[in-house]
Amino acid sequence: MTTILYEHPLNERIRNYLKLEQLLAQAYNCANSDVAIANIQYSYQVFFNALFAIIDSLERGDIRGDLIKDLEKLQQSLVIWSQAPDIDTSVLETNLRETVALSSHLKASIQTWCQLKDHKLIASLKQRFAIQGGSSSFDLPQLQFWLHQKTEQIKADIKHWLSLLAGISDSLALVLKFIRQRAEFETIETESGFYQDSGEGLLLLRIKVAQSAQYYPTVSGNRFRYSIRFMLPCEKNGRRYSNQSTVFQLARC
């Protein structure tokens, strides 16, 4: 059965993680897509908007500090799990080495991603992109010049810029992987399109709904309690509450 996956964070730290994960996915997708590179004159907005939002996110919040704490907790957990019987030691040791390496990288006094803030081209573009409609070609001749460089040069520039984010990107991917693996999906049925439960100890809700279903979940709550209300599309009001019997899958991570 084909399903749609919805995820909802239950604290601000995980919310920031998911936002950054999506921005990184947008930037990397542009970099890895031959179609996007071939049409860079039209797709550059997506790449640079994502890149600038990543820089802002890393400057404003303490994502680096949060990732270091989560990697240290993960390292402790992996050491404890290594004592369990029937554990796959090769996989565990690989994850442990990666965790230690990433933690050491993030603890370095100088972060590689900070080079993006001082890059002359990126800094000049970022100022104009912050203005609505400010990225027009007549406002940014330097961008127009860059967009008309050889494809190999554009690819090399983008690859270098994203390489400066590798430590953050890899750390985020590892932390979120283990958070998502904290729980398996279970099937839940409700009669009224509404479900609630305790959120104590939870970080993330993952909800799967059949793609053929004509409803979708909206989530509200925090680490103490959460509720899931299923909605139906409505041409008049945009959406309306679903009161019908609802089947979905839920993983409480």
Question: pLDDT tens digit string along 14-70?
Answer: 999 999 999 999 999 988 877 677 677 778 888 999 999 999 999 887 899 999 999
Task: Show the tokens assigned to 168.
Answer: 């953050």
Nearest to 183 by CA among 204, 165, 167, 199: 204
Nearest to 17 by CA among 166, 225, 204, 159: 204
Looking at the fold, whether 192 and 225 belong to one and the same domain comes out as yes
Q: Helix (H, G, I), strand (E, B), or coil: what is residue 70?
A: helix
What's the CATH code of the domain at 101?
1.10.3900.10
Question: CB neighbours of 146 closer than 8 A, spacing ≥ 6?
Answer: 121, 154, 157
Looking at the fold, whether 170 and 236 belong to one and the same domain comes out as no
Over residues 153-186, the pLDDT tens digits come to 999 999 999 999 999 999 999 999 999 999 999 9
- Provide the residue range defining the domain that includes 227: 186-252
Does the residue 2 lie in any domain? no
Looking at the fold, whether 229 and 106 belong to one and the same domain comes out as no
CA 99, 68, 21, 154 torsion-angle sign: negative
Nearest to 191 by CA among 239, 230, 234: 230
Instruction: Note the pTM of the prediction, 2 decimals.
Output: 0.92
Task: Show the tokens assigned to 57.
Answer: 């996110």
Q: Give the angle subtended at the CA of 131 by the CAs of 128 and 136, to the nearest 5°.
A: 60
What's the CATH code of the domain at 212?
2.60.440.10
Q: How many separate domains does the chain show?
A: 2
Looking at the fold, whether 100 and 217 belong to one and the same domain comes out as no
